[in-house]
Amino acid sequence: MPEGTVNQGIGASVRRKEDKRFLTGKGRYTDDINRAGQLFAYFVRSPVAHATIKSIKTDKAAAVAGVAAIYTGADVANDGIGGLINGWAVTNRDGSAMHEPPHPILAKDKVRYVGDHVAMVVADSLEKAMSAGELVDVVYDQLPPVIDLASAADNATIHDGMDNNTYFDWELGDEAATQAALSSAARVITTTLRNNRLVPNAMEPRAAVAEYDEIADSYVLHSTTQNPHLLRLVICAFVLGIPESKMQIIAPDVGGGFGSKIYLYAEEACCTWASKKLRKPVKWTADRTQAFLSDAHGRDHINKVQMALDKNNRIIGLRVDTLANLGGYLSAFSVATPTYLHGTLLSGCYDIPAIYTNVKGMATTTAPVDAYRGAGRPEATFIVERTMDIAAREIGMDPAEFRRLNFIPNDAFPYQTAVALQYDIGDYEPTLDKALEMIDYKGFESRRAEAMKRGKYRGIGLSSYIEACGIAPSAVVGALGGRVGLYESAVVRVDPTGTISVFTGTHSHGQGHDTTFAQIVNERLGVPLDSVEIVHGDTNRIQFGMGTYGSRSLAVGGTAISKAIDKVIAKGKIIAAHMLEADDADIEFKDGKFIVAGTDREKSFGEIALSAYVPHNFPHDRLEPGLEETAFYDPANFTYPAGTHIAEVEVDATTGVVEVVDWACCDDFGNLINPMVVLGQVHGGIGQGVGQALLENAHYDESGQLLTASYMDYCMPRADNLPSMKVDHLVTACTHNDLGVKGCGEAGAIASPPALINAVVNALLPLGVTDITMPATPEKVWRAIQDAQTKAAE
Amino acid sequence: MPTVAMKVNGASVSHDIPDNTLLVSFLRETMGLTGTHVGCDTSQCGACIVHVNGDSIKSCSILAAQLDGADVTTIEGIANGDELHPMQQAFHENHGLQCGFCTPGMVMSAIELVEKSKNLSEREIREGLEGNICRCTGYHNIVKSVQDAATKMGG
Ligand code: FES
Ligand code: FES
């Protein structure tokens, strides 16, 4: 870096380039987009959980002034429109294929959850579309709802030809070895753990503006998607049968996703389809209640856990039998989430020689469930880290020391787990030690005693998590049933004046790519941040991409950028060699200059850029004009961020209110590009984890009504539900990507729920409470205390 | 259709609108001021907060027609030309935003909070922001931003 300049490169907490437009109200989100003559869509949704549709009458609704069209499942079928797809197929334990029922974009014969799309009303104002929607007369013949996950297999059949409402019955690991460990164990820890159902609740509701261009026979769809290219592929190839070249998808500023905006939804497909039929732009924006009803939900597992310990308190086996609620239809990645993103994480940070898991993916008459922040990994971590605490308590060992005893030692990497993954690198004890020190673990008992004097039960809880990020490599994903490749692409375009545009296939919906990715360019090419533009979210500007989820943007997308930069430098060297009349091999690139090694002959990066576009005298047999390079990067492995989070809570036993009083964590995300952005991601993840552990729950009643379908009923974490957080990190650099980065987006949401529940249980142990299901609401905590006390008195 | 006249970000405006038009729709659709966001349908999220006669108000819960003659300030109206309001600047410096969707409402709430109360404790800031939901930041840096701005604004 030239002297006197501010460091804008890797490792600098540069303030974000994107902030100004958001802070001044100039962000451009999908609902901000309006087109002349646009029509508005409103969806008539099923008010019942499970029913056959006897008839749909639309004549009264169609007569409302301003209504342009009403479409039903019959219209969809008549037009030969395909259904929404399942993006991942697994094989059943017995070797048979899993069940993949159709998922029409408008229900035709049957509805399978409250909120299922039954008809689409299009009118010249939203008000008219909504009031016409009220007049659509649907006669339902109700069938028994299937709501309770535990008994879902024994209830009414949701999809024809599907046995026991089971989409799949999948396994991973060595059952015989695990059973042998369990039978030879000195002690077996047995528990049942429930992972509660959540609604992702990105603050920006989903929206779509679809425009059909009659002259070009092409479409533009603005959408709140996390991955425009994948959306284009699915909507074109599987649903509407449009050539991909005729479809442009633009995801402008997107107000959070957390997984819920990965998938193609019925509404986007319907608006696109209708825009051609009506030859007008069609706009749809969800209100929050629709979002609750029809965004893909998250989590919702019941797990039976058995952990085998030898006489030295080492874990020798783990068996987990899981029921995963996937709802009324299979959402795009709903199969991957509870299987390969879940079962493979059951080894946690621990050296466990035998693991076996069986997962049954169940159909219920509830909204589809899919990936939500962490996707499978939070659910796995909850199992491992809650069981670690239960085990530590049963053997009377300090939970931190019990974890330390069972950690994979730092000299054991690369470490092959019993559940398919190979961790490339990690060092878990230092992050544990650091987190213990940050929260003053040693001083806890005196804080507990002090709290007791104030009438509060204080508890502390740990969670040492690991996650697998940057889902990859494509070959492995394909072999395991994934129907996509999980590489990423980048184009680095150097303009004649030396400014740079980077076209990335990832998508930023709050993660700060405009800044972080520009820092990579700054570091490598020496170009100031202001001269670097990051372009994302537009299928017509970006060659291809797989979008953003699973903390893949930096590890996969950032590495693709780095590889394209390598190519820019390599070409720059050839141009410099030509200009300086030197040998290609003698050119070095350093501090933004191409230098003939060992001499003072050099060309600046800007001179090379200009020369590339003013190629006088270029030897065209070996040197093309221009300076633009593309890289597609398919990673060799997942990345494995890990760390320890510790929560400290105080419980008021008279009200059951849990207050989070302190939080400390130390994570290992490999190298950090922008520490400020990384810490922000951790804070946000913890916020969502605290929500899951203490407040949030998607609750269906027995009839299948979603009782928590608004912010009045679904308890979102607010500023006073969270503490200030102490967040630190240590680094073991990822061994298989150029940047040595791992990913940080989901860590907080993965680590925090078990840490919190462990803390709540730790606080209440003196009262005899040994477990509490999420969310640990005041009512539930209060009841648990009452029950424990009644039991103690008996 | 009644005519509603008000001041929006310092400029006098007058429009004929249906009498059931919410302030947020008036701002977003009639005025094209899309910085004010809609995040819910129950007046719970705060994404739509603007200032009306100096008080922060959820613009999804009031009719524009009720505000004839009022002085309305939105997120678009608080910077001084190119110079950000100290609260906006503090959010930028402290990474108090991620996706930016809650941010306009959050900033408008925070300005009123700091303007109306002096020497806010962390707890008071957290409680003062209770009407705003942010799904991205875990509030940690939002609270820091407000503390920072409070110092700069002499609060
Ligand atoms: S949109 Fe006004 S409070 Fe949510
Ligand atoms: S920054 Fe995304 S909701 Fe607050």
pLDDT, one tens digit per residue, over A265-313 is: 999 999 999 999 999 999 999 999 999 999 999 999 999 999 999 999 9
What amino acid occupies position A442?
Answer: K
- pLDDT tens digits along A691-707: 999 999 999 999 999 99
Tokens 């003939």 map to which residue? A596
Grade residue B155 by pLDDT with cuts at 50, 70 and 90.
low
Grade residue A1 by pLDDT with cuts at 50, 70 and 90.
very low
Question: Going edge to edge, which strands form the sheet with A488-494?
Answer: A532-535, A500-504, A488-494, A628-633
Say if residue A786's pLDDT is above 50.
Answer: yes
Say if residue A578's pLDDT is above 90.
Answer: yes
Task: Tell me, in angstroms, the distance from the centre of ligand 2 to residue A263's CA.
Answer: 21
Inter-chain CB proximity A680 and B40 less than 8 Å: no
Task: Tell me, in angstroms, the distance from the centre of ligand 2 to residue A287's CA.
Answer: 17
pLDDT, residue A725, reads: 97
Alpha helices in A205-332 (DSSP H): 228-234, 266-278, 288-294
The separation between CA A128 and the C-alpha centre of its own chain, rounded to angstroms, equals 36
Say how many C-beta atoms besides its own lie within 10 A of residue A480's C-beta. 17
Give the distance from residue A312's alpha carbon to the nearest chain B alpha carbon, in angstroms: 40
Residue with CA closest to ligand 1 atom 1: B38
Burial class of residue A96, CB neighbours in 10 A (0-12, 13-18, 19+):
exposed
pLDDT, residue A130, reads: 97
When pLDDT is averaged across residues A115-144 and rounded to a whole number, the result is 98
Give the DSSP H or E segment for A130: helix A126-135
A694, A775 in Cβ contact below 8 A?
A: yes
Report the alpha-carbon distance of residue A372 to residue A299 in Å, rounded. Answer: 7
Report the alpha-carbon distance of residue A645 to residue A756 in Å, rounded. Answer: 9
Closest by CA to A427, choosing from A401, A464, A392, is A464
Say how many C-beta atoms besides its own lie within 10 A of residue B11's C-beta. 9
Least confident piece of the model among A142-156, A471-485, A738-752: A471-485
Q: What is the token pair recorded at A37?
A: 């003559």
Q: What is the token pair recorded at B2?
A: 């009644």
* Residue to test with chain A: of B93, B98, B137, B144, most A Cβ within 10 A: B98
Task: Tell me, in angstroms, the distance from the centre of ligand 1 to residue B145's CA.
Answer: 22
Backbone angles phi, psi at A632, to 5 degrees: -110, 125
What amino acid occupies position A451?
Answer: A
Residues 43-82 of B with CB under 8 A from A: 44-45, 47, 74-76, 79
- The CA radius of gyration of chain B, in Å to the nearest whole number, is 15
Inter-chain CB proximity B40 and A711 less than 8 Å: yes
Report the alpha-carbon distance of residue B151 to residue A208 in Å, rounded. Answer: 42
Give the distance from residue B69's alpha carbon to the nearest chain A alpha carbon, in angstroms: 24
Percent of chain A with pLDDT over 90: 94
Tokens 């039929």 map to which residue? A277
Average pLDDT over chain A reads 96
A782, A790 in Cβ contact below 8 A?
A: no
Report the alpha-carbon distance of residue A334 to residue A319 in Å, rounded. Answer: 22
A521, A527 in Cβ contact below 8 A?
A: yes
Report the alpha-carbon distance of residue A606 to residue A612 in Å, rounded. Answer: 10
Nearest CA in chain B to A511: B98
Grade residue B108 by pLDDT with cuts at 50, 70 and 90.
very high
Say if residue A80's pLDDT is above 90.
Answer: yes
A192, A302 in Cβ contact below 8 A?
A: yes
Q: What is the token pair recorded at B49?
A: 């907060």
Q: Which of B97, B141, B142 has most ligand 2 atoms within 8 Å of CB, for mutation?
A: B97
Backbone angles phi, psi at A10, to 5 degrees: -65, 130
Nearest CA in chain B to A21: B100
In whole angstroms, how far apart are CA B32 and each of A88, A211, B24, B25, B151? Answer: 42, 20, 10, 9, 33
Confirm or reject contact between A511 and chain B (CB < 8 A).
Answer: yes
Inter-chain CB proximity B99 and A201 less than 8 Å: no
A335, A477 in Cβ contact below 8 A?
A: no
Q: What is the token pair recorded at A258?
A: 């957390």
Please tell me the total number of residues recorded for chain A in this structure: 794
Nearest CA in chain A to B132: A718
In whole angstroms, how far apart are CA A137 and each of A59, A133, A294? Answer: 9, 9, 21
Say how many C-beta atoms besides its own lie within 10 A of residue A623's C-beta. 15
Report the alpha-carbon distance of residue A741 to residue A773 in Å, rounded. Answer: 35
Q: What is the token pair recorded at A745?
A: 């987006």
- pLDDT tens digits along B46-88: 999 999 999 999 999 999 999 999 999 999 999 999 999 999 9
Report the alpha-carbon distance of residue A44 to residue A26 in Å, rounded. Answer: 33
When CB atoms are compared, the residue of B38, B44, B135 closest to A256 is: B135
* Residue to test with chain A: of B123, B135, B141, B142, most A Cβ within 10 A: B135
User: Quick one: DSSP state of residue A409?
Assistant: P
Alpha helices in A482-528 (DSSP H): 513-525
Report the alpha-carbon distance of residue A486 to residue A161 in Å, rounded. Answer: 33
Least confident piece of the model among A230-244, A472-486, A560-574, A578-592: A472-486
SS3 B88: helix
A783, A771 in Cβ contact below 8 A?
A: no
Inter-chain CB proximity A256 and B88 less than 8 Å: no
When CB atoms are compared, the residue of A18, A512, A680 closest to B141 is: A680
pLDDT, residue A666, reads: 98
Inter-chain CB proximity A683 and B139 less than 8 Å: yes
Report the alpha-carbon distance of residue A161 to residue A98 in Å, rounded. Answer: 12
Say if residue A4's pLDDT is above 90.
Answer: no
In whole angstroms, how far apart are CA A485 and each of A230, A545, A740, B48, B95? Answer: 10, 10, 22, 40, 34
Residues 76-115 of B with CB under 8 A from A: 76, 79, 84, 88, 91-93, 95, 97-104, 107
Closest by CA to A670, choosing from A609, A755, A739, is A739
Instruction: Provide DSSP, A550-613.
Output: TT-IIIIIIHHHHHHHHHHHHHHHHHHHHHTT--GGGEEEETTEEEETTSS-EEEHHHHHHHHH
Global pTM value: 0.96
When pLDDT is averaged across residues A574-597 and rounded to a whole number, the result is 95
When CB atoms are compared, the residue of A25, A28, A712 closest to B44 is: A712
A105-118 exposure pattern, b = at least 16 Cβ within 10 A, e = fewer: bbbbebbbbbbbbb
CA angle A272, A273, A277 (to 5 degrees): 120
Say if residue A6's pLDDT is above 90.
Answer: no
Question: Going edge to edge, which strands form the sheet with A602-604?
Answer: A587-590, A593-596, A602-604
In whole angstroms, how far apart are CA A425 and each of A414, A416, A524, A641, A734? Answer: 6, 11, 25, 9, 7
Q: What is the token pair recorded at B76?
A: 């678009």
Give the distance from residue A718's alpha carbon to the nearest chain B alpha carbon, in angstroms: 6
A717, A695 in Cβ contact below 8 A?
A: yes
| Contact residues for A555 (Cβ-Cβ < 8 A; gap 6+) | A469, A470, A635, A639, A734, A737, A739, A741, A742, A743
pLDDT, residue A620, reads: 84
- Phi-psi group of A236: left, alpha or beta (phi > 0 → left; psi -120 to 50 → alpha; rest → beta): alpha
Ligand nearest to the CA of B104: 2
* Residue to test with chain A: of B72, B123, B139, most A Cβ within 10 A: B139
CB-CB neighbors (< 8 A) of A681 in chain B: 98
A428-439 vs A399-406: helix axis angle to the nearest 10?
A: 170
CB-CB neighbors (< 8 A) of A66 in chain B: none
Give the DSSP H or E segment for A699: none
Q: Which of B25, B26, B48, B50 has most ligand 1 atoms within 8 Å of CB, for mutation?
A: B48
A315, A354 in Cβ contact below 8 A?
A: no
Closest by CA to A502, choosing from A548, A571, A560, A576, is A560
Report the alpha-carbon distance of residue A208 to residue A452 in Å, rounded. Answer: 54
What amino acid occupies position A488?
Answer: E
Closest by CA to A747, choosing from A671, A660, A684, is A684
When pLDDT is averaged across residues B18-30 and rounded to a whole number, the result is 96
Say if residue A74's pLDDT is above 90.
Answer: yes
SS3 B135: coil
When pLDDT is averaged across residues A71-75 and rounded to a whole number, the result is 97
| Contact residues for A437 (Cβ-Cβ < 8 A; gap 6+) | none
Confirm or reject contact between B34 and chain A (CB < 8 A).
Answer: yes
Q: Which residues line ligand 1 (CB under 6 A)?
A: B 38-40, 43-48, 58, 60
pLDDT, residue A5, reads: 60
In whole angstroms, how far apart are CA A595 and each of A562, A572, A582, A618? Answer: 21, 11, 10, 19
Interchain CB contacts (distance < 8 Å): A and B: 185
Inter-chain CB proximity A288 and B40 less than 8 Å: yes
Closest by CA to A241, choosing from A470, A83, A94, A81, is A81
Nearest CA in chain A to B38: A204
Confirm or reject contact between B33 and chain A (CB < 8 A).
Answer: yes
In whole angstroms, how far apart are CA B74 and each of B11, B104, B139? Answer: 12, 8, 22
Report the alpha-carbon distance of residue A438 to residue A208 in Å, rounded. Answer: 46
